[in-house]
Each structure stands twice: as C-alpha cells, then as structure tokens.
Amino acid sequence: MATTADVVIVGAGIVGSSIAYHLTEAGVRNVLVVERETRQGLGSTGKSMGGVRAQFATDVNIRMSVYSMPFFARFEEATGHPSGYKPHGYLFMATNEWHMTYLRKNQSRQKSQGLKNVELLTADDIRKVLPQLRSDDIIGGSLCLTDGFVDPESVMNGFMARAVERGVTLWRGTEVTGIYVDHGKLSGVLTTNGGVSSPIVVNAAGPWAAAVARMAGAELPVEPLRRMLVLSEPFPGLPERLPMMVDMTSGWHFRQEGLGVLMAWAGTDQQPGFRADFDPAFIEKVLTHAAARVPDFANLAVNPRRCWAGLYEMSPDHHAILGPSPDVQGLYFANGFSGHGVMHSPATGRIIADLIVHGQTHIIDAQDLNVQRFAEGRAIEETAIL
C-alpha cells in the first residue's frame, strides 16, 4: 500500500473534522480523512438545525455539553474560523407538573455537573420572552442562556481548515470500501483511491456508520432516521434574541432563521431507514402545533421547496457510542449521536483524540459511552431528546 497514515478517519462531517482537529492538538499530524462526497457537509451536518445546548437529563450528556459549549464560544480563537455561535438560549415550556418536576430534577443534575446558569422560569417570565405565545396552560419552564445555535457547516469547515493547516490530509470524492483486519487487528483501509496502511481507523460515518463497522466485521447498533425541518417565509415581529422555544407537551420547537421561523417536530410515524426526502404533507402537521402555541403562526407562509430533511443517526439509548471496538483492535467509534452530533462535536473530537493518544480521557467516564454497554446491560436512556 503506497499511502500510510497514523490514523484514518472515515467521514469528513462535523464529527470527523473535530476529531482531525483534536488529534492535531494532541500532536498527531499524519492523519488522513476520507470523504466519499466531493464536498464536505452533504451528510447530516449540512441538514442540521444548528441547535446547541447543555440542558440534558443524563450526567454524561451534560458533561459532553459542558466541554462543548465554552468551546463554541472560543471557537474562533481556537481555530481561526467563525462558528456562528449565538447564545440565545433554549427555553423549555412546561404545561404540567410532571414536566416541571422533570425540569427541576434536570436543573439540579445540570448544576451538579458544573452547569451553573440554568434558570427555572414562571409563566410570566416566559410570556415576557415571547408575548405572542398562547400561555394560558403554561405553568413554567427552564432557560439556559449559554445554549443557542451555531452554524454547523462553519464549525465543520473551521475544524477541518485548521487541521489541514497543521498537516492533516483530506481526500474528497473517495469512498472507503473495505477495512483490513488480520487476527482481530486492523491494518488499513481500501478506498476508491487505493489502499492505505494504518493501525487506527475512526468510524465517523454518521448515519452510514453501521455499514462502515461491518467492513471490519464489527456490529454497531446505529440506525438512520429521517428528520424533517419546516422553514417559513419572513415573519416579522419576533423578539431579536429569541431562544429555541420548546413546547414540551407536543415536542414542537422553533427558532428564528434569517427573517423566517425554522420549525421541527419529531412526529410519531417515522421508521428507521435511509429515506431522506422531504414530505410536503408534514408542513400541515407542524403548522397545527405552531398555531396551537403561537396563534399568529396560523398565518405563516411556507414554501415546501425551502424545507428539507436529513438523517439522525440513532443509537438504542439515544447517547453517542464512543471509543474503541472491543472486537477489532485499532477500530474506534464516534457514532450514534441521536440528533446531538453538532452540539457534541467538540467533546467527541477531544474524547476520541484522548483515547487514541493516552488511552483515557477526563472529559467523561469513557465506560459510559462505549459500545459494550448494550451487551453488558449498562445502556443509559436520554429522555431530553428533540
């Protein structure tokens, strides 16, 4: 094999790019990133809503965010490129006591993990944030003002640009088609651009991660799931620094995008699969939830051609799967983000680089997110998913 690398990363989305960057931070420069598309961002990263938050319900997800959110705030200093970070907050709105108790419990868990600025709000506080809300049934909520939004493509490009400046090689338009394993030990990859010899391969293939793992003979429980976003035409009159507004009762949530409103709802009838076209019938369902919470949104105009769909990469417990494969020496997983891969990309890059270089990390307890947790009955369900 003509090419050799210390580490090969399969996939140049936001996760592969962050891993490349963090490897160079740790002094590993002979890194090859292989991306089958002719440009970056055509996977899930370019479809993301760009929401970033630390308001989670499990210690490990909170800790991933406690590393990642300040990283977004100093992204330009670290990489020399903008992240588009807007700390406008995420505001969870509760309409029943069960949800309020849940938010209170999460707040104390978040504080115990070092996130100090999550506030519980009254219904009056929430009305002040968005006077147009129908709020007669809202009893309170929670807000964290360092949550907010980034520009996912900008973050991905910033990570990769700095990594390339430091010596990383990026092959675009090249597919990894095989992984060489000999007696349980990895020795390289086969690509459409030839073979590459390497003792370490990182799977950062997003929704396609299970297929890449299978190339090495490893099982990885990651499934693609279609997710659709509805963007309205310009809708003036919303407050300038509006948080991501989350209606906990329906799961409908929205933020401003330019002059329009960008809306998401998980729906109830999605089946795992690679189907990723936008279904125009979805618009009416989303607008029903929108008008129920913000009556003025009954007048939102939507052009289906400006709406889009992409793929979440779901794991069985809605947490990422990070770290070495127990079956193939040299194979690492950075997969299964279940809709949180943009917000957790900084922590993921750091954790994978730590594990490759030092065999340990202090960002999280790495045992929590290894793939063995499923076989060993240690799965940890995240309930604060959107």
Ligand X SMILES: Cc1cc2nc3c(=O)[nH]c(=O)nc-3n(C[C@H](O)[C@H](O)[C@H](O)COP(=O)(O)OP(=O)(O)OC[C@H]3O[C@@H](n4cnc5c(N)ncnc54)[C@H](O)[C@@H]3O)c2cc1C
Judged by the rule CB under 6 A, the positions of this chain that interact with ligand X are: 10-16, 34-37, 42-45, 47-51, 175-176, 204-208, 212, 227, 229, 310-313, 337, 339-343
| Residue with Cβ nearer ligand X (100 or 248) | 248
3-state DSSP call for residue 339?
coil
* DSSP H/E element including 76: helix 75-79
Shortest distance, position 50 Cβ to ligand X, whole Å:
5
Inter-residue contact 286 to 292 (CB < 8 Å) = no
Shortest distance, position 276 Cβ to ligand X, whole Å:
8
| Residue with Cβ nearer ligand X (51 or 221) | 51
The whole-angstrom separation of Cα 344 and Cα 150 is 12
Shortest distance, position 142 Cβ to ligand X, whole Å:
18
| Residue with Cβ nearer ligand X (35 or 247) | 35
Shortest distance, position 256 Cβ to ligand X, whole Å:
14
3-state DSSP call for residue 278?
coil
Shortest distance, position 33 Cβ to ligand X, whole Å:
9
Shortest distance, position 216 Cβ to ligand X, whole Å:
12
Shortest distance, position 320 Cβ to ligand X, whole Å:
9
Shortest distance, position 356 Cβ to ligand X, whole Å:
17
Q: What tokens does 135 get?
A: 């709020």
| Residue with Cβ nearer ligand X (56 or 208) | 208
Q: How far is CA 219 from CA 8, 223, 338, in A?
A: 19, 12, 17
| Residue with Cβ nearer ligand X (211 or 298) | 211
* DSSP H/E element including 284: helix 281-293
Shortest distance, position 174 Cβ to ligand X, whole Å:
7
| Residue with Cβ nearer ligand X (66 or 100) | 66
| Residue with Cβ nearer ligand X (100 or 200) | 200
| Residue with Cβ nearer ligand X (140 or 191) | 191
- DSSP E strands: which ranges in the chain? 3-4, 7-10, 31-34, 51-52, 90-94, 118-122, 140-144, 148-149, 169-171, 176-182, 185-191, 194-197, 201-203, 223-231, 244-247, 253-257, 260-264, 308-314, 321-324, 331-335
Residue given tokens 């519980």 in the structure block = 120
Inter-residue contact 23 to 356 (CB < 8 Å) = yes
Q: How far is CA 300 from CA 235, 255, 259, in A?
A: 7, 14, 12
3-state DSSP call for residue 44?
coil
Exposed, middle or buried, 305 (CB in 10 Å: 0-12/13-18/19+)?
exposed
| Residue with Cβ nearer ligand X (100 or 210) | 210
Say which DSSP state 306 is in: G
The whole-angstrom separation of Cα 169 and Cα 8 is 10
